[in-house]
Amino acid sequence: MCGLNTAILAPINSSNKRPSLVSLVSRESGRNGNGWWLTIRSARPATASAALAGVIVRQGIKLLVSQEKDMVVCAEADSADGALEAIERSKPHVATVDLSLKDSSGLELIKDMRIRHPEVLALVLSMRDETFYAERVLRAGARGYITKEEGTERVIEGIRAVDAGQIYVSQRVSSRLLSGFATSQSADGVRSVGRLTDRELEVFEMIGAGLTTREIAERLHLSVKTIDSHREHIKDKLQIANATELLKHAIHWTQGQDDR
């Protein structure tokens, strides 16, 4: 259990070459400067874990959390397995998750959390297009979605909202979800990719990142035959004729998400 004044953090000048992608934040109930009351569902401090890609974002979250009297970063990890282990140790209330992790996708982590730790609420922080991914992560079990365009200061607001039992998304996403247009009103490319299952989307993105079938199989702990099957399903759904066109389409999609 992390106390209010205890933090296990990777130092800013750490010798680690890869930035940590998961941070655990502990929080105590009370009123902040605006008189807002934080509802805690148990006697222990509420906590949040954050899976974030990039040193700047990670340090920005640490800075934001350090300015909150009722929150503290407790631990960090750079993988889905590490995040699950940290969640097991720290018993967080809220987990903020990036969609890109070292050993899995954020979607798969959210699904695993939903099964293994249903009491932990997930809030996604991502640089990817919210009009495509927000509905998908909510369907996977997340309770909110924040993009880089919204500013890191909204992370604290999102954590508090999710911990209070609310769904936290932008007004644009909220309107689309309520109207039932989250996927059907997207651009043609997004609409077609939206037909993929979460696992197919994960494979599709890895193809776009330049991974071979065997590398994808090793990353996802699946057989090469299973990945080949996913590739065929992707080609069928996207009406792609061959492996070369699949690679081109996947690269175009992945670069489009990275540029957002």
**Residues 222-240: what's their mean pLDDT?**
92
CATH number of this structure's domain 188-258:
1.10.10.10
Q: State how far the alpha carbon of 145 is from the alpha carbons of 106, 125, 142, 205, 224, in Å.
A: 12, 6, 8, 20, 33
Residue 231 has pLDDT above 90, yes or no: yes
Instruction: Summarize the confidence of residues 127-139 as an average pLDDT.
Output: 83
Please give the pLDDT value at position 200: 92
Cα–Cα distance, 81 to 73 (Å, whole number): 19
Mean pLDDT of the region 178-182: 57
Domain segments of the chain: what residues?
22-179, 188-258
Query: Greater confidence, 86 or 30?
Result: 86
Contacts of 46 (CB under 8 A, 6+ apart): 26, 27, 28, 29, 38, 40, 92, 93, 94, 163
Please give the model's pTM, rounded to 2 decimal places. Answer: 0.61
Specify the pLDDT at position 229.
93
What is the rounded distance in angstroms from the CA atom of residue 224 to the CA atom of residue 202?
15
Q: Find, among 72, 55, 83, the residue nearest to 5 by Cα.
A: 72
22-179 folds as: Rossmann fold (3.40.50)
* Residue 120, amino acid: V
